Amino acid sequence: MLIVLTVVTALGCGLIAGVFFAFSSFVMKALARIPAAQGIAAMQSISIVVLNPAFLGVFLGTAAGCAGVAIWAVADWDSRSGLLITGSILYLVGTVGVTRVFHIPLNDALAKADPSSAAGARIWSGYRKSWTIWNHVRTAAALAAAAAFVTAIL
C-alpha cells in the first residue's frame, strides 16, 4: 500500500511541477509581452479559474499524499524513509508553503488592481517578477519531491 501511495503522490508532484514549469517557461513570458492591462486581466482570470476541482484535487490531494507517506515512513521506518520524508517536506514546504506565503497574497493584491490604471501597471511589473521567481522555487520543489519519491520506490 505504501508503494501505491508513493507512486500516486510522485505522479501528483510531477504533474504539479509540469503546471508550474509551464507558467515559468512560457505563460508569464507571454503575459509580459502584451499590454499591462491585458496581462493583469488575464492573470486575474487565471487566478479565479485555477480554483477548480481538477487542479485543487491534484494540488491538495498530493499534499495529503505527502502527509500520508511521511507518517507511514516514520511509523514503519526503513531504508527509504529518509527519501519519503524528504520528498514530503519538499512538496509541503516548497510547493504548498510557497503558494500560501507568496503566491496567494500576490494574487489577492493583483485581484484588487485596476488593469487600466497606472498603479495597476506598477503592481503588474513587480507582481510578474516576484510571482515568477517564487514559481521557479515551487517548480523545483515539486520536481525534486517527485524525484525523491521515485528514488525511494526504486
Mean pLDDT score, 86-92 = 98
* Assigned C-alpha cell, 25: 517557461
Residue type, 150: V
Contact 67, 89 (CB under 8 A): no
Q: Could you report the per-residue pLDDT of 9-51, keeping only the tens digit for each? A: 999 999 999 999 999 999 999 999 999 999 999 999 999 999 9
pLDDT band per the 50, 70, 90 thresholds, residue 137: very high
Q: How far apart are CA 41 and CA 110, in angstroms?
A: 9
What range does the domain containing 144 cover? Answer: 2-153
CB pairs under 8 A, 24+ apart, for 53-61?
55/19, 58/12, 58/15, 58/16, 59/16, 59/96, 59/99, 60/96, 61/12
Domain total for the chain?
1
